[in-house]
Copies of this chain bind each other. A is one copy, B any other.
């Protein structure tokens, strides 16, 4: 929220729209959370109500303390490197469902990655040439991460499905051999 307000004053409602539109893939936030957090930030002096509009609209702006806190967070607080992926956790236990279902799971992951990749390409077409130099650059960089991540996910999931298919084949052959041995 400090980041968004650093670009100019906005109401809780405005921020909500921004979260829904452009930050949704990076940091989703709910309406309740936003208003609660605005109250908290105001109490801490990091934002202040700059103007009041119709329908009880309160336009917030970032304070100097807020800007300092934002800069501090940006470069001095070490990023978390998101662990915890239920997508990957499932992979560990995929032997519980047999090769067919396991392969299906991985193939669906690949399809999904392709779909998300396409969506990001769509966004890129849409935002091309928007904003000034610096803003566009950082937006591009973030978008590029999404593109590379989804591409890597697709490649990996396809590769993994192939490995599972190979195991499937191997098992089938063994079964066949065992059958022949019994027949002989």
Query: CB within 8 Å of B: which residues of A?
Result: 3, 6, 23-28, 67, 70-71, 73-75, 79-97, 99, 101-102, 104-106, 109, 112, 116, 133-135, 137-142, 144-145, 148-149, 152, 155-156, 159-160, 163-164, 167, 170
Contact = CB atoms under 8 A, between A and B. Distances in A.
Contacts of A84: 26-28, 82
Given A75-B104, A84-B82, A27 B138 contact: no
Nearest to A116: B81
Q: Which 5 pairs across A and B sit closest by C-beta, in order of nearness?
A: A3-B93, A79-B87, A95-B134, A141-B160, A152-B152
Nearest to A24: B83
B156 A85 contact: no
A103 to B, nearest CB: 11
Nearest to A29: B84
A163 B137 contact: yes
A97 B80 contact: no
B138 A95 contact: yes
Nearest to A139: B92
A80 B87 contact: yes
Contacts of A80: 85-87
Contacts of A71: 96-97
10 contacts: A6-B93, A26-B83, A27-B85, A70-B96, A74-B96, A80-B85, A81-B112, A82-B85, A95-B135, A149-B152
A50 B152 CA distance: 43
Contacts of A112: 81
A26 B89 contact: yes
Contact of A141 (B3, B6, B28, B91): B91
A157 B137 CA distance: 13
Given A74-B97, A82-B82, 14 more contacts: A3-B96, A24-B83, A25-B83, A26-B88, A27-B89, A75-B105, A80-B86, A82-B84, A82-B87, A91-B145, A95-B134, A137-B163, A145-B156, A148-B156
